[in-house]
Amino acid sequence: MTHPSNVIRILYCSHRSPESAGLIAEEIYKDFDISCFDWNRIDSINYEYDPEDYDIVFLEIPVQMPHELAESRINTIKHHAAVIRVHDSAYQKKVMQMCKGNTHLIIDNTLAQDQIIAIIHMLAHMKGNVSGGVPWVADALRESEQRYRQIVLAMAGWIWECGTDWIVTYSSENVKEYLGYDAEEITGRSIFSLLDEKCREEVATQLLEAAESESPIRDLEFWIDTAEGGLICVLISAEVKRNTHGILSGFRCVGKDITTQKTAEAALHRSNERLRELDKLKSEFLSTVSHELRTPIAIMGEGVALCLEEIVGPLNHKQRDLLEDTHQNVDRLSRLISDLLDISKIEAGRVVLRKVQFNIPSIIQQALDGFSSVAGQKNLEMRYEGPLSLIIYADPDKVRQIIDNLISNAIRFTAEGSITIILEDESEIVRCRVCDTGIGISKKDVKGLFVKFAQIGRVDGPGYKGTGLGLAIVKGLVEKHNGAISVESVPDQGSCFSFTLARMTPPGIGIVDYERQRLLSIQSTLKQSGYLTQIADTLNANEICKGIQLLAVAYNQEVDQWLEKETAFVESILIYDAGSLPEEHVLRLERWPNVTVAHNSDARRLHTRIQDLLMG
């Protein structure tokens, strides 16, 4: 059988009546130029035609057709690209097996006639391309290829494809701009022969993972050796290619050169590393210097103090006056060093809060008592307005430092009148205000007030001098407690500093101990610090693990088994009283990332250990 080369030959095998099959034929005749086709129909089992003579074979497998028969029909077209229509969708898988990996297109009978015709059109286009094709098909292809080329260039990306053997099957021509190779040099080579050794394994893993998860790959970085011997970084997005059976057949990828960006990133990373190193050095330097400074300052201070107290002999009026000035400045120097250390810790984010539950009015009272003599010297009245009991969960030392700083400022800038501390419970937060009747702060100065060493228009009175760091420290500490600080002030009338502290919930701790007495003693120690506790005398009580951050368990044999099942449910586990366990056993317990082992069972020591664990 000979055919003109510009004719697409279709063999249509169907069980349908010649009339019904003829409808499809008519449609195809209508859409295609009739001279392009040589159309045949077979609806009997006996083949009169050799499928090998046709470009497209359309095979319909009806529901009632015996499997053996279906298989023998499929086998006759095994080397051919065929469309196989399966009428029973449950049968589809079976048919797929019958195809034995040949690239047939399997469709089901839900496809409408026009869709089938569209498929035939598509195949006709493909065939036209392979065999030189009919003129109009070739034109259409040329046009679409041009369009595709333009898109590729407009995207300024390198497009390539590879099979599952990683051999590049296609590369866009602009690869030359990227790698310096011609597209022909790339095709046929394994993609890994182009990749820099360091990224080969990762690239393969990621591509295969993507193939398994069916998700497209985004932003995979390839380091590729260029023809000139350079190295460029290409950012790849890839789609998984599958054949008609849905089996992975390769990858289609688009690459963009991001070498410049990567080089900049690397430089940035290096300079960040350097900055971190410098920051660490700065902190270490500050800490060392402050220690080295403390001793000479202590010697000066103590020497002057011994003289001032006349322990080493009587002083005249002028000597006393000078020594008092000296003593004040030694004090100031020592405060400056403490403040510098504090602010550097705050800035480096190294402030650790030791949170416990405490009564904030008591802390305020202690602070007021501490300043009573200084305030008394200036004849200032000190008042507290607020509840006598208000329990918060915070770091009492830091809260005291905040309040001390604010009171100390208030006293410094107030010549007469009073200092009032007002405490208010605002359910989610507590608000504390330190108000004075002093010189106040102008609007202009309020802005820079919380900046370290802010030079504002307030002039210190005689005596106690500030360090210029106090309010910056206060702000840092308040923010560390998830609070905020603000100030309202009227010049010559007074200032009112207001800060808030978030009402935090103390962590819940579960304690499991088979010795009742010890259990209660540990519980009471933890309760004193405000922790919420739950207790049990056996690990079987799973209820205990609900809503707790840490579980403290006295060691017994149950613990080993329990850990195998339950560790993941609690953030942190402290196993105590494990002093008698051999070293290997302890190591075995500690291989769990959230488990810590303590040898003793002393309530106070456990308390410290638990605090450390909760701080992270």
Q: Which residues bind other proteins (CB under 8 A)?
A: 287, 290-292, 294-295, 297-299, 301-303, 305-306, 309, 311-312, 330, 334, 341, 352, 354, 604-605, 608, 612
What is the 8-class DSSP label of residue 36?
A: G
Based on CB atoms, which residue is closest to other proteins, 307 or 504?
Answer: 307
Q: How far is the CB of 428 from other proteins (least distance, A)?
A: 29
| Phi then psi dihedrals of residue 508, to 5 deg | -90, 140
Angle, vertex CA 347, rays to CA 342 and CA 351, nearest 5: 55
Work out how close the CB of 528 gets to other proteins at its nearest, in angstroms, rounded to a whole number: 16
Measured from the CB atom, the residue of 198 and 350 that comes closer to other proteins is 350
Q: Which of 175, 232, 236 is nearest to 202 (CA)?
A: 236
Distance CA 13, CA 28 (A): 15
- As to burial, measured by CB atoms within 10 angstroms (0-12 exposed, 13-18 middle, 19+ buried), residue 614 is middle
CB of 306 to other proteins, least distance (A): 6
Give CA–CA dist 489/497, Å, rounded. 8
CB of 468 to other proteins, least distance (A): 20
Closest to 509 (Cα-Cα) out of 489, 529, 483 = 529
The three-class DSSP label of residue 497 is: strand
Q: Which is nearer to other proteins, 306 or 348 (CB)?
A: 306
Q: Looking up tokens 């290619």, which residue turns up?
A: 241
In whole angstroms, the minimum distance from the beta carbon of 610 to other proteins comes to 13
From edge to edge, which strands make up the β-sheet containing 8-13?
Answer: 37-42, 8-13, 56-61, 82-86, 105-108
Sign of the torsion angle spanned by Cα atoms 550, 552, 558, 561: positive
Residue whose pair of structure tokens reads 């021509």 in the numeric block: 173
Closer CB to other proteins, residue 301 or residue 506? Answer: 301
Task: Rank residues 309 and 543 by Cβ distance to other proteins and give the closer one.
Answer: 309
| Cβ-based nearer residue to other proteins, 152 or 341 | 341
Nearest to other proteins of 305, 451 (CB atom):
305
- Shortest Å distance, C-beta 423 to other proteins: 27
Residues 6+ apart with CB under 8 A from 559: 539, 553, 575, 589
In whole angstroms, give the CA distance from residue 58 to residue 11.
6
- Work out how close the CB of 295 gets to other proteins at its nearest, in angstroms, rounded to a whole number: 5
Nearer to other proteins, 247 or 299 (CB): 299
Query: CA 95, CA 75: separation in Å to the nearest integer?
Result: 11
Is there a contact between 407 and 368 (Cβ–Cβ < 8 Å)? yes
Burial class of residue 4 (count of CB atoms within 10 Å of its CB; 0-12, 13-18, 19+): exposed
* DSSP codes of every residue in 524-573: HHHHHTT-EEEEESSTT-GGGGTT-SEEEEE--THHHHHHHHHGGGSSEE
* Shortest reach from residue 298's CB to other proteins, in Å: 4
**Tokens 């055919």, residue?**
3
Identity at 93, one-letter amino acid code: K
Q: Which is nearer to other proteins, 328 or 498 (CB)?
A: 328
Q: Which of 555, 547, 546 is nearest to 589 (CA)?
A: 555
Alpha-carbon gap, residue 107 to 92, rounded angstroms: 8
Residue 307: half-sphere exposure toward Cβ, Cα within 13 Å? 18
Nearer to other proteins, 333 or 422 (CB): 333
The CB-of-220 to other proteins minimum distance in angstroms stands at 45
Integer Cα distance of 285 and 226 in angstroms: 47
Nearer to other proteins, 138 or 333 (CB): 333
Minimum CB distance to other proteins smaller for 312 or for 587: 312
Residue 461 Cβ vs other proteins, minimum distance, rounded to whole Å: 23
CB 522 within 8 A of CB 500: no
Which of residues 112 and 311 has its CB atom nearest to other proteins in the complex? 311
When the beta carbons of 362 and 608 are compared against other proteins, the nearer one is 608
Contact 82, 76 (CB under 8 A): no
Shortest distance, position 222 Cβ to other proteins, whole Å? 48
Residue labelled with tokens 């009492």: 396
Nearer Cβ to other proteins (208/603): 603
Closest separation in Å from C-beta 611 to other proteins:
8
Contact 522, 608 (CB under 8 A): no
* Cβ 601 vs Cβ 574: under 8 Å: no
Least distance (Å) between residue 363 CB and other proteins:
19
Closest CA to 391 of 531, 496, 498: 531
Residue 12, token pair as written in the block: 């249509």
Q: Least CB distance from residue 473 to other proteins, whole Å?
A: 15
**Least distance (Å) between residue 392 CB and other proteins:** 21
Radius of gyration over alpha carbons of the chain, in Å?
A: 42
**CB-based contact 390:361 (threshold 8 Å):** yes
Torsion of CA 438, 443, 447, 448, to 10 degrees: -60
